[in-house]
Structures are given as C-alpha cells and as structure tokens.
Amino acid sequence: MRIIWGRANSSNVMKLLWFCAETGLPYERRDAGGAFGRTQEPAYKAMNPMSLVPVLEEPDGWALWESNSILRYLGATTAEGAGLYPAAPRRRAAIERWMDWQLAHLSQPMTTLFFTHVRIPEPERDWDAAEAARQKAASLWALLDHQLQATPFAEGEALTLADIALGPFIHRWFALPIERPDLPALRQWYEHLCERPGYATHIRIPMT
Ligand SMILES: N[C@@H](CCC(=O)N[C@@H](CS)C(=O)NCC(=O)O)C(=O)O
C-alpha cells in the first residue's frame, strides 16, 4: 500500500490527502512530524533528509518528499490523478505555475500569519511581522482574485493540481481572525472548494 507520512494538520500533508479524496487513490497515512516526532529517525531521514512532512512512500520502498513534487508525481503516474494534471504542455505549465507561486511566494507570509495566530505561544508573538505578512498575503491573493474573475478555478474550468496546492492556504486566509480586502472572486472560489467533500474532510478542519 502507498504510504503518506505526515500529521494531518500540516498544510502540505493536507494537499495529498485532498488529492487522494478527489481521485479515490488508496493510501495509508502514518503520523510523523510535530508532536509525533519520528522525522529525526534514521529511517525517516533516509526517505527525507530535510526531516519534514509529507513524504510519499511507494510499495516498493521508493520515497519522494516536497508536497508539490508528490502531487505532480501522483498526477502523472496514476490514472486517477490524470484529470487534475492535463498532459498538454501549456495547460500543464500553467497549472504548475500556480504550484510554484504557492511555494515561492504565498507560503512564507501565510506561514507567518498562521504561526502567529495559532502555533506560537502568545507572549512570543510578533504582531508587526504578522501585519507585514498579512499585507503581503493580501496583495498575492488579490492577484489570484484577478485570475478567478475569468475562470472558476485557479487554472481553468475544472479543479486541477493548482487548486489543490493552494487549497490549504486559502482556508487559513478566510479562517484566521484577520482583516481581509474584499475579493469576491476569491471568496466564491473558496466557497466552491468548501462544497467538495474531500476539502471539508481534510482541509476545512479546526486549525491546530
Ligand atoms: N516545501 C515543503 C515544506 C515541508 C514543510 O515545511 N513541512 C512542515 C509541515 S507543513 C514540517 O514538516 N514541519 C515540521 C514538523 O512537522 O515536524 C513541502 O511542500 O513539502
């Protein structure tokens, strides 16, 4: 059985769980990371020298880390994932552009915001850094809102890996107690994602 290593409250693990829910791909999830530890153990480090979650472990022992790389791999190698990752080069590149954008630009301010509000003990919270992150994230979400004025999903008429990579972060954006600019297309996209059972089960969960 294919194994997904990682705690279920990790945004990057959530992407894979949602992907499997959308596609029906069978898997077993094993807790690792955070309070579960395990990521510093030699056997885990052999799979992921970064000691982070998630890791995908295939039945033959082959392992892959970096959540967006895992999404690409599953989209390219499983019949179930093919619809989320069209093979036509320009379609595929346009989808991957949003995945890279998430990793290169969105991840940092959203992580600062999330950690400040949820994970960092209250006395240690840096609210100036959180405000700078909120402003940065708002400008990035506005850019996606512009795209969503033309298409219902991040990259076109149907759900793709682009939406899956962005999904955990847009939930946090709307769930955190922060000021948000009015971005109707972004809000509508999020509400559509919330209607999907896999999103509700794996992503729209209490933030911990
Ligand atoms: N770019 C990596 C980031 C991986 C990452 O930072 N994972 C976090 C959880 S979202 C982690 O492992 N944190 C330490 C831990 O859980 O022990 C990916 O997308 O997979």
How many other C-beta atoms are found inside a 10 Å radius of the C-beta of residue 26?
9
What is the span of the domain harbouring residue 160?
Answer: 86-201
Q: Which long-range contacts does 194-197 make (Cβ < 8 Å, 24+ apart)?
A: 196/22, 196/159, 197/21
CB of 8 sitting under 6 A from ligand 1 = no
150 and 173 share one domain: yes
Q: Where is the domain boundary, 83, 103, 133?
A: 83
Q: Where is the domain boundary, 83, 102, 137?
A: 83
9 and 73 share one domain: yes
Q: How many domains does the chain have?
A: 2
CB of 112 sitting under 6 A from ligand 1 = no
pLDDT in tens, 66-106: 999 999 999 999 989 889 999 999 999 999 999 999 999 99
pLDDT in tens, the chain (208 residues): 999 999 999 999 999 999 999 999 999 999 999 999 999 999 999 999 999 999 999 999 999 999 999 999 999 999 898 899 999 999 999 999 999 999 999 999 999 999 999 999 999 999 999 999 999 999 999 999 999 999 999 999 999 999 999 999 999 999 999 999 999 999 999 999 999 999 999 999 999 9
41 and 93 share one domain: no
128 and 48 share one domain: no
Q: Where is the domain boundary, 48, 83, 118?
A: 83
51 Cα nearest atom in ligand 1 = 12
Contact (Cβ atoms closer than 8 angstroms) between residue 190 and residue 129: no
CATH number at residue 33: 3.40.30.10
Q: Which of 7, 11, 12, 30 to mutate to test the pocket of ligand 1 (most atoms within 8 A of CB)?
A: 12
Rg of the chain over Cα atoms, rounded to whole angstroms, equals: 17
CB of 34 sitting under 6 A from ligand 1 = yes
CB of 67 sitting under 6 A from ligand 1 = yes
Name the pairing type of β-strands 55-57 and 63-65: antiparallel
CB of 53 sitting under 6 A from ligand 1 = yes
How many other C-beta atoms are found inside a 10 Å radius of the C-beta of residue 139?
12
44 and 140 share one domain: no
67 and 141 share one domain: no
Q: Which of 53, 108, 208 to mutate to test the pocket of ligand 1 (most atoms within 8 A of CB)?
A: 53
Question: Measured between alpha carbons, how far is 17 from 141 in angstroms, rounded to an integer?
Answer: 23
Question: Measured between alpha carbons, how far is 92 from 57 in angstroms, rounded to an integer?
Answer: 24
CB of 160 sitting under 6 A from ligand 1 = no
Residue 65 DSSP SS3: strand
Read off the amino acid at residue 197.
Answer: P
Return all residues near 121 (Cβ < 8 A) that are at least 6 apart: none
116 and 191 share one domain: yes
